[in-house]
Amino acid sequence: MPRIFGTDGIRGRANVDVTPELALQLGRAVARVLREEGHGRPEVVVGRDPRWSSPMLEDALAAGLASGGADVRSLGVVATPVVAHAAAATEVQAGAMISASHNPMADNGIKFFGHDGFKLTDAEEDRIEELLTQPGRDHGRPVGDEVGQIVEDHALVDDWADSVVSVGVDLAGLTVVVDAANGSASALGPEVYRRLGATVIPIHADPDGRNINLDCGSTHPQSLIDAVVSHGADVGIAHDGDADRLVAVDHRGVEVDGDVILAILARDAHESGSLPHDTVATTVMTNLGFRRAMRDLGIGVELTRVGDRYVMEAMRSGGLTLGGEQSGHLIALDHSTTGDGILSAAMLLSTIAAAGVPLAELRTVMTRLPQVLINVAGVDKHRLADAAHVEDVIAKVTDDLGDDGRVLVRPSGTEALIRVMVEAVTEDDAQAGARAIADAVRTTLASA
């Protein structure tokens, strides 16, 4: 059986890759692991996004947990960070979130959190997978009142909302358009921003199970841009399906991505003396303009592999509290144990309110270099490391750009693609460099 856990839990086509049978078996395996760790009757909090298949998978996962002797506290439709917060802030032993985040409606996934609110380690995931493939894995099931119970617990959602509101400042006078992606933020996002005093105009906040992430949310910001301009709003905020990301829009309709938001928050924390080691963590995909801006501000940058779990690992090992990705998956480790789009938005809006200047001015903290990304399909990505001609072309483009650009070529971790990214001072230079490398990859590594 191939490894089912990726960099962000389990994800795939609902009812094909991520099936109720798999969810049931996962529940039993997780319950067994928790009992092996000495928890006689473990408790697990479970949440889900509103996509069509999520109730099916939640019921199956909860049944598996209960069958394995674990009690389940169902949170209902919530943002992923609510599950992480509930796991960390209570005496439960684990948390589980059913969501495919920003993926299309037909996909779904399951991610787990430990009792500390952090995602499971590789070793813990390996043990769960071992149990899934182990003969006789159902041996010794609990019976009678040792079978777990499943109850609803919405009070934990209120606890998370209170914790987010406590981080923000009074937003009275700010008008905010919120694109909830017809997902988990549909009720939670507007509620939190209103509690902070903002005037909120929600859009795409009417989930029907089918419309999650459909031409909306953080990966499709155009409707948010249009709404901000037409309403004359101060700011726009777009979340993804499970609300662990955000993208912002200023009052002029200019998109502000995770790089820029992280730069704004980092400068604010640096100036207030609340940025440990005066360093932030981010991935190698972060725009070179971000790194230049941090250098000019005297802020260090810890670079990691692509994926929020790697950002988190660097933050925890380095004692950092702020990090994130260009996608808008930001982590404020002094307030949350995972990416929280609503918390990040509250922090951004609070920075705007406290500074008394518009986002359009704050976003000038960094100047983005043109960045061109080409995904080259139909190639053997495993041969990249030994492709001398490709290396020669990469070296030439890198040399031509000098200190004014950057090249990153890497195989996709999930698809049969090689990703070519080039940054340069001009769009033309970035396009030319990316095309040259992509052509070399395509001709040299074409699949048979």
Q: Which residue do the tokens 């809006």 mark?
A: 349
- Cα dihedral angle (368, 308, 416, 431), rounded to 10 degrees? 0
CB atoms within 10 A of CB 92: 23
**Cα separations in angstroms, 367 against 163, 254, 289, 296:** 33, 13, 5, 12
Question: Which H or E run includes 324?
Answer: strand 322-324
CA dihedral (35, 41, 43, 48) positive or negative: positive
CB 221 within 8 A of CB 238: yes
Whether the Cβ atoms of residue 329 and residue 310 lie closer than 8 Å to each other: no
Asked about 101 being catalytic, the answer comes back as yes
Q: Please, what sign has the CA dihedral across residues 323, 328, 334, 340? A: negative
* Token reading at 336: 């949350």
Phi, psi of 357 (to 5 degrees): -130, 155
Q: State phi, psi for 49 to the nearest 5 degrees.
A: -90, 175
**What Å distances lie between residue 138 and 27, 46, 62, 68, 379, CA to CA?**
11, 22, 16, 9, 42
Strands in 14-161 per DSSP E: 43-48, 71-77, 94-98, 107-114, 150-152
Q: Of residues 101, 184, 336, 350, which has the active-site annotation?
A: 101
Q: Which residues form the catalytic set? A: 101
